[in-house]
Structure 1
Amino acid sequence: MKKYYFLLALLFSSLLINAQERYFLNSDTRLYTSANTSADFLGYFKYGAEVQLLSESKNGWYKVKADNLSEGYIPEKFVAKRLNARDIKVRDNENPLIEGDDNYYGSNHLFILVASLKARSQPDKNSRIREILYTGDPVPINYLPKNQEEWVNIGGNFNDEYSKFTLRKFVGKRPDFNTLLKDFDKLDVNNSTERKTIGERIVELAWNSDNATLTPAYQRYYEVVKQINDPKLIAETELNMAIAKGLAKHKKPEEILAFVKKSEFILKGTKTKSWYLTQKDLVKTFGKPTKKATVSDECGIYLSETFYYYPDLEASVDEEKNQAEITKVFINENNKLVLNQNATLDHSLTEKAFIEKYGTYIGASIKAPHSYSIQIEDSEFRIEFKDGKIFTIEIFFYC
Structure 2
Amino acid sequence: MKKYYFLVALFCSLLVHSQERYFLNSDTRLYISPSTSAEFLGYFKYGAEVQLLSESKNGWYKVKADNFSEGFVPEKYVATRLNSADVKVRDNENPLIEGNDNYYGSCHLFVIVAGLKARAQPHKNSKIKEILYTGDPVPIDYLPKNPEEWVNIGGNFSDEYARFTLRKFVGKRPDFNTLLKDFDQLDPTNSTERKTVGERLVELAWNSDKTTLTPAYQRYYEVVRQLNDPKLLADTELNIIIAKGLAKHKTPEQILAFVKKSEFVLKGVKTKSLFLTQKDLLKVFGKPVKKATISDECGLYLSDLFYYYPDLEASVDEKQNQAEITRVFINENNKLVLNANATLDHSVSEKAFIEKYGAYIGASIKAPHLYSIQLEDSEFKIEFRDGKLFNIEIFFYC
TM range (shorter): over 0.9
Alpha-carbon offset, residue 367 of structure 1 = 0.5
Report the alpha carbon displacement of residue 11 of structure 1 after superposing the two structures with TM.
Answer: 2.0
In 2: Cα distance, 1:55 partner to 1:253 partner:
56
| Structure 2 residue matching 1:381: 3-state secondary structure | strand
Check whether the contact 1:150–1:168 (CA below 8 A) recurs between aligned residues.
yes
Shift of 1:91: 0.2
Structure 1 moving runs of 4+ over 3 Å: none
**Residues 201-350 of structure 1: pairs in structure 2 closer than 5 A:** 201-350=200-349
- In the TM superposition, what is the alpha-carbon distance from 1:8 to its structure 2 partner? 3.1
Q: Is the 8 A contact 1:32 1:73 kept in 2?
A: yes
* 1:10 shift after superposition: 4.6
CA contact under 8 A between 2:64 and 2:70: conserved in structure 1? yes
**Alignment partners' CA distance in 2, 1:253 and 1:59:** 61
Q: Contact 2:362–2:373 (CA<8 Å) still a contact in 1?
A: yes
TM superposition shift of 1:4: 2.5
Task: Tell me the amino acid that sits aligned with residue 11 of structure 1.
Answer: F
Map of 1:154 onto structure 2: 153
The answer to whether residue 201 in structure 2 is matched with residue 197 in structure 1 is: no
The answer to whether the aligner puts 1:180 opposite 2:179 as a matched pair is: yes
Q: Distance in 2 between matches of 1:383 and 1:360?
A: 15
Question: 1:211-244: CA deviations, max 9, x gaps?
Answer: 1000000000000000000111001000000000
Are 1:39 and 2:38 an aligned pair? yes
Residue pair 1:16, 1:53 contacting (<8 A) in 2 also: no
Equivalents in 1 of 2:238, 2:23: separation in Å? 48
Count of matched residue positions in the alignment of Structure 1 and Structure 2: 398
Structure 1 residue 7 displacement after superposition: 2.5
Counterparts of 1:360 and 1:333 in 2: how far apart (Å)? 26
Which amino acid in the other structure matches residue 279 of structure 1?
A: Q
Q: C-alpha separation between the residues in 2 aligned to 1:15 and 1:129?
A: 32
The secondary structure found in structure 1 opposite 2:19 is coil
1:7-26 residue pairs with structure 2 within 5 A? 7-8=7-8, 10-12=10-12, 14-16=14-16, 19-26=18-25
Aligned sequence identity (%):
82
Counterpart CA distance in 1 for 2:100 and 2:10 is 44
CA distance in 2, matches of 1:5, 1:171: 48
Does the alignment pair 1:167 with 2:166? yes
Cα displacement (A) at 1:14 = 4.3
CA distance in 2, matches of 1:333, 1:11: 69
- Asked if 2 retains the 8 angstrom alpha-carbon contact of 1:16 and 1:54, the reply is no
Segments of structure 1 that go 5 or more residues without pairing to the other structure are none
CA distance in 2, matches of 1:93, 1:3: 46
Which residue identity is paired with 1:273?
K
What SS does structure 2 have at the residue aligned with 1:337? strand
TM-score (norm 1): 0.98
Quote how far apart the aligned CAs of 1:3 are. Answer: 3.0
State the AA in 2 paired with 1:211: K
Report how far residue 2 of structure 1 moved: 5.1
The aligned amino acid for 1:142 is D
1:380 aligns to 2:379 (yes or no):
yes
TM normalised by structure 2 equals 0.99
Q: How many Å apart are 1:16 and its aligned residue?
A: 4.7
Q: Which whole-Å CA distance do the structure 1 matches of 2:109 and 2:278 have between them?
A: 50
Contact 2:14 2:54 in 1 (8 A): no
1:327-383 Cα offsets, whole Å, 9 max, x none, are: 000000000000011100000000000000000000000000000000011100000
Shift of 1:20: 1.7
- Which residue number corresponds to residue 354 of structure 2? 355
Paired AA for residue 46 in structure 1:
K
Whether contact under 8 Å (1:225, 1:233) holds in the other structure is yes
1:61 deviates by: 0.4
Letter of the 2:183 partner, please give it.
Answer: F
Q: Tell me if the contact between 1:16 and 1:55 (Cα under 8 Å) persists in the aligned partners.
A: no
Q: Which amino acid aligns with 1:380?
A: E
Letter in 1 for 2:337: V
- Aligned residue type for 1:328: R
- Tell whether 2:108 aligns with 1:140: no
Distance in 1 between residues matched to 2:294 and 2:4, nearest whole Å: 57
Distance 2:8 2:269 in 1: 77
Task: State the match for 2:3 in structure 1.
Answer: 3
d(CA) in 2 for partners of 1:13 and 1:127?
A: 34
Q: Distance in 2 between matches of 1:367 and 1:26?
A: 36
Identify unmatched segments of 5+ residues in structure 2.
Answer: none
Partners of 1:278 and 1:322 within 8 A in 2: yes
Q: Give the structure 2 partner of residue 91 of structure 1.
A: 90
Structure 1 residue 13, shift from structure 2 partner = 5.5
How far did 1:249 drift?
0.3
Q: Is the 8 A contact 1:16 1:56 kept in 2?
A: no
Aligned AA for 1:63?
A: K
